[in-house]
Amino acid sequence: MMDSALLQARKVTVGYDGSPVLNQVALSVGSGSLIGLIGPNGAGKTTLIKVLSGLLAPTAGQVFLDGKPLAAWGRDARARAVGYLSQSRLVHWPVTVERLVLLGRLPHRGPWDRLSDEDATAVDTALLATDVESLRHRTVTTLSGGELARVLLARVLAGGPKVLLADEPVSGLDPGHRLQVLEGLRSLARRGCLVMVVMHDLTLASRFCDRLVLLDHGRLIADGSVDEVLHMDRLASVYGVDAVSVTRGDEQAILPWNQVPG
C-alpha cells in the first residue's frame, strides 16, 4: 500500500522550533480519488499543498512522487505530472481564454516548438471539460468570477497532470458553480487522476470527497472517510461547532449548525 502510493509526504515539517507551520505530517495518497484537505484557518493547508506540489521545500522530511523524491524530479517532468491551482485568481494581463489555457501546455513544449496537435487537443478537451468552450475568444478581464475559476481550472487540466492539487478552487463561487466545479473534479478523479482539494466548506467536502485529511495547528490529526474524520466530537474540538448530518439517497453531507462554547 505504502509503495503503490502516487504521492507521499514523509514526516514533512515546515518552519522551525516553536510553532512550525507543518509538524511531521505523514500522508500517502493513491490515484483515482478526490481528497479533501480541510482544517480551520491557519492550520497549514495551503503550506501542505505547496510542499506537495514542490513549490516549497520542507524544512525536514520529504515528499515522494511515484516513489521518487520530488526534489529529484526535473522541473519540467514535475510540472507535467503535478498540476497546481493557486488560491489567487489574479490574471495579470488581459489575454484571451484560449491563450491562458494554453499556458498549461508550457511544460510539454520545448522553447521553440510550434503548437502540436496534442497541445490543441488538450486545450480543446480542457475547455469542454470545464464548460468554457464558448468563452474561448473572450478576454479574461471580461469574465465573471465563476467563469474565471473554471478557465483557471481548464488551464491546469490542459497540462494533463496525474496529480492535481487545488487550493480553494470553489471559494467565492455561487452554489451552482461550486457544484459544477466539484462535479468536474470528481469526474477527473474517476478517470484516474489524484485530486486533492483544499476546502473550507465542510458540507461540500463531506458530500464530494472520497477521503478527508484534517489538519490543525500544522499537525495531521485525522485521515480517512467522512465518518471517520468529521464525527461530532472532532467538529467540536477542532472547529468549535456542532453539526447536523444530512442524507439524500446514499449520499451524506455534514452541515455545521451552531458554534459551541470552547
- Residues at the contact surface with another protein, assessed by CB under 8 A: 50, 53-55, 75-76, 78-80, 82-84, 86, 88, 90-96, 98-100, 102-104, 106-107, 111, 115, 117, 119-121, 123-124, 136-137, 152, 155, 159
Which is nearer to another protein, 54 or 169 (by Cβ)? Answer: 54
Question: Is there a contact between 15 and 22 (Cβ–Cβ < 8 Å)?
Answer: yes
Query: Cβ 167 to another protein, closest distance in Å?
Result: 9
Phi and psi torsions of 226, nearest 5° = -55, -45
- Taking residue 153's Cβ as centre, other Cβ atoms within 10 Å add up to 26
Which is nearer to another protein, 188 or 238 (by Cβ)? Answer: 188
Query: Cβ 93 to another protein, closest distance in Å?
Result: 4
Query: Cβ 14 to another protein, closest distance in Å?
Result: 15
DSSP-derived secondary structure for 32-69: S-EEEEE-STTSSHHHHHHHHTTSS--SEEEEEETTEE
Which is nearer to another protein, 79 or 235 (by Cβ)? Answer: 79
Query: Cβ 159 to another protein, closest distance in Å?
Result: 8
Distance, in Å, from the CA atom of 236 to the CA atom of 95, rounded to the nearest integer, reads: 46
Phi and psi torsions of 56, nearest 5° = -130, 130
Distance, in Å, from the CA atom of 25 to the CA atom of 197, rounded to the nearest integer, reads: 17
- Taking residue 244's Cβ as centre, other Cβ atoms within 10 Å add up to 11
Query: Cβ 95 to another protein, closest distance in Å?
Result: 5
Task: Write down the H helix ranges in 45-162.
Answer: 45-52, 75-81, 97-102, 117-129, 145-158
Which is nearer to another protein, 97 or 238 (by Cβ)? Answer: 97
Query: Cβ 33 to another protein, closest distance in Å?
Result: 21
Q: In one letter, which amino acid is 215?
A: L
Which is nearer to another protein, 50 or 177 (by Cβ)? Answer: 50
Which is nearer to another protein, 3 or 117 (by Cβ)? Answer: 117
